[in-house]
Each structure stands twice: as structure tokens, then as C-alpha cells.
Amino acid sequence: MADLSVTLAGVTLKNPIIPASGTFGYGREFADAYDLDLLGSFSWKGTTRDPRPGNLQPRIAETAAGMLNAVGLQNPGLEAVLREEVPNIARIFHGPVIANVCGFSLEEYAENCRALEEAEPVKILEVNISCPNVHAGGRNFGSDPHSAAAVTRAVRAATKKPVFMKLSPNVTDIAEIARACEAEGADGLCLINTLLGMRIDLNTKRPLLQNRTGGLSGPAVFPVALRMVWDVYEAVKLPLIGCGGVSSAEDAAEMMLAGAAAVEVGAANLRDPWACKTIIEDLPAVCERLGVEKLSDLTGGAHHG
């Protein structure tokens, strides 16, 4: 049987499969579907300091080979998560948890990371820099290397836990952003977040989403995510979590060959609650087909061919 374990900045996962933030809540709903301890980890819902109701409906729209979402970081706020969700997570999942941290200012990012320092199940902080900077006209922190570097610097000073910066694909050169995060002490990177897109309702002649635009995810984005993981693997020396359109064990292997040390599965969970379980169960056969005894040996393998 192949060894499926992988390591992310000193944190060992029994396998590389991680449900992506925003598609798995805080684990409650999926714990009724299967034993979450099958997972390598899971990334909880993007969490802000204050509770957020999210954007107005409609905020989900289907599209060919994917979906658009403009949920707007709906979450109960960090205090409620620490009080209610963290103890519950400790009951339903016994592996390392990834906390997705959001913020609208450098101070909020740092404050949230500091507050998670004592949360025992949380072993990695995944910092979402696709949030708008309220002090810079609402531009996303991840949209330029200077602001991405500033967030990295702020959170790195606020915590001893490994920090993985989650990169936005809505940029000209994602490798440049990656290098900026590496230079300020990031322990790893997660990519990609969703691609900006929209749909228009022909009946109303208005955008389908109340927010007009939303994030595109699902199989449609997989080739873009794969290319960006490849580019960033060539640019930095950090472990990468590959994310974007992964729907099968074969997709996960492809993402690892491009340079990912672990793989997040997002929209597939919304279509099939057992998607991650199926992918994990299929990984040994993929290892056998590819002739590897250690799954981690795939990481970056396509760069050496």
C-alpha cells in the first residue's frame, strides 16, 4: 500500500486531501456523511473578527463546468468560532486543522491570527488576501506584491503557527506576489482562490448575482490553477497547497506533479458531499498506476521530466 502522508511546513497530514475553505463550513454538516478522520486536514470557512451576514441573495449562480459565488464571507465571527466551533471540531476531527483567516485591515489580520494562537486543533493559518483593504479604496490585499507583503509581515509577527498565504489568481503575475510573500516570512502558499466572473439573466437583462460579479470555481478553473501552481513552484522554495477545480484522485496527482505538496478540494464537495472520501480511497490505485510508493514523491515531478 502506498504511503499517502505529506508534510506542510512541519505539519504531517495522513494524506494530501483537504476540503477547501468555504465549501466545508466548520465540518459539522459533513461529519454526518462520513468519518472526517479520513481527511488529511480541512480548511474552515473564512473567518473575520466580527460576524458577517454575507451578501444579499441571489449569491450563487451555476455556469458551465463550475459555479459563481458571491457569498461575501458569511461567518459567525472569530469569538463565536473559538467558543462554539473549535470545541466541536475537536470532537469530530482529530487531525491538524487549517484556519482560514480573513481581514479588512492589517490590524484585523494580525489580531485574528493572534487570537488563534491558543486554538489547539488549529495547526496552520491560511490567510485569505482576496479581502478588500478598506484603507486603500477597497482593492484586494492580494492584488499587488506590496500589500500582499504587508499582510504577510503583519501576520508573521502575530503568530508562531505556520502561515500559508492564499493567493488570488486575479493578478497579472502570481509568481511576483508569491515571491513577495516568501520574502516576508510566509511558511507556505495556497493557490488559487476563485477567478472573477459573472453571468447575465437574459429574461431580466440584469446580472444573475446581486453582487454583479462572483468567484468562479469548479472544473472550469482547473487548467488555470494548475498553470499557476506550476509557475509559483518555479518561483519560490515554499510548500504549496494546490486548489482550483480538483474533482478526482487523478486531478490531485496532476496538481502535485505541477508542484503542490497538498491539494484542496472545493466545489466538488458541494456537488457530492463524499467527494473527498472518494478521492482519498482512489489515491492508492493512482499511486500504483504512476509507480510511486510515496505519494509525496509526485510533488514537482513534472518539472524534472
Phi/psi of residue 33, each to 5°? -90, -40
> What are the beta bridge partners of residue 13?
6
**Angle between helices 222-235 and 249-258 in degrees, nearest 10:** 30
The helix (run of H) or strand (run of E) holding residue 113 is helix 106-115
| Contact between 44 and 26 (Cβ < 8 Å) | yes
Between CA 201 and CA 186 the distance in angstroms is: 42
Beta pairing, strands 188-191 & 214-217? unpaired
Classify 45 in phi/psi space as left (phi over 0), alpha (psi -120 to 50) or beta.
beta
Return d(Cα 303, Cα 299) in angstroms, integer. Answer: 9
Catalytic residue among 131, 181, 243, 276: 131
Catalytic (active site) residue 131: yes
Nearest to 228 by CA among 184, 178, 186, 269: 178
Half-sphere exposure of 190 (CA within 13 A, CB side): 33
CA distance 117 to 48: 15
DSSP string, 190-253: EE--PEEE--EETTTTEESSTTS-EEEESGGGHHHHHHHHHHHHHH--S-EEEESS--SHHHHH
Per-position DSSP letters for 255-302, written without gaps between them:
HHHHT-SEEEE-HHHHH-TTHHHHHHHHHHHHHHHHT-SBGGGGTTGG
Residues annotated catalytic, as ranges: 131
